Structure 1
């Protein structure tokens, strides 16, 4: 997203986190822009029964948790590492200075936030009205075509686990496992060493 050298120039700190370590919690005030150098982070909530709902999973070079910085609200979800991770943290004040000095970066941030809004709208629609197979394919195609811009049949490796897909789409993990096997049988996906390719 933002070049690492630019973040460091504007006083970003490099922070190391262990797997399953909390970066911030729901209802905390946002003070930093976070960008992943290595590792992976999930943003999640839990319902009253303790069931996890994953809002999104973020990987190397992706940022997360920015919206509250721009509108002065508290975080709507938790951010937790799903592997050992190295993350750059830039204070809100320094981020705004960086964006003022670099309008092309400001535009990229705006585009990224717009993509996430689009994704949320699509997922909300899929969860409310579509069959599990359609939901899963639509989610994977969104990642392949809109996020990672990958072309070619079975060229995109899905980094999400079956459990994460279930938590994002509001499905049971058993349903996701069954549907992915069916999608493989129909030629919609390919499974190689337990990884799904679309």
Structure 2
């Protein structure tokens, strides 16, 4: 998202995290900007029954946890590493200084946040009324077209496990497995070495 050299110019630090290590907790006050240098991070929380709901998964060069930073509210979810990771961390005050001096980066962050809002609206409408196969396909297309910005005719490997897809879409993992097999039969996805491609 923000070029690494510019982050270092504003004294960003690299911090290493082990797999399954918490970066910040739900209800913690936001004080830093976070960007993945290596590894992967999920933001998630749990309902009263203990079921996890994944808000998003973030990979190299993606940032996470910005909205609370800009509006001075606590984080709505936990951020936990999915693998050994390195995260660039920049304190809020330095981020705001960076954004006032780099309008192009400010615009890019605004665009990124707008994409996430769009995604949340799609997921909310899909969860409320659509069939599982439709939800899954819509989610895959969002990842391919909006997050990774690939052309529609290129093959895209879905970077989520079946369990993670279930946790994002509010489905049971068995439903996701069955739906993906049906989507393969319909020619909507391909499964190669247990990986799903759209």
TM-score normalised by L of structure 2: 0.98
1:20 equivalent in structure 2: 20
Distance 1:8 1:21 in 2: 24
1:41 equivalent in structure 2: 41
Tell me: CA distance 1:185–1:153, structure 2 relative to 1, closer, same or farther (3 Å). Answer: farther
2:96 equivalent in structure 1: 96
2:110 equivalent in structure 1: 110
Aligned partners of 1:154 and 1:190 also within 8 Å: no
Please give the secondary structure, in 2, of the residue aligned with 1:144.
helix
Please give the secondary structure, in 2, of the residue aligned with 1:88.
strand
The equivalences for 1:160-179 within 5 A come to 160-179=160-179
Please give the secondary structure, in 1, of the residue aligned with 2:79.
strand
Tell me: CA distance 1:114–1:152, structure 2 relative to 1, closer, same or farther (3 Å). Answer: closer
Cα-Cα RMSD: 0.8
| Residue 150 (str. 1) matches residue 150 (str. 2) | yes
Q: Which runs of 4+ in 1 moved over 4 A?
A: none
Number of aligned positions between the proteins: 198
Alignment gaps of 5+ in structure 2: none
TM-score normalised by L of structure 1: 0.98
2:181 equivalent in structure 1: 181
| Cα displacement (A) at 1:152 | 4.5
| Cα displacement (A) at 1:151 | 2.0
| Cα displacement (A) at 1:147 | 1.3
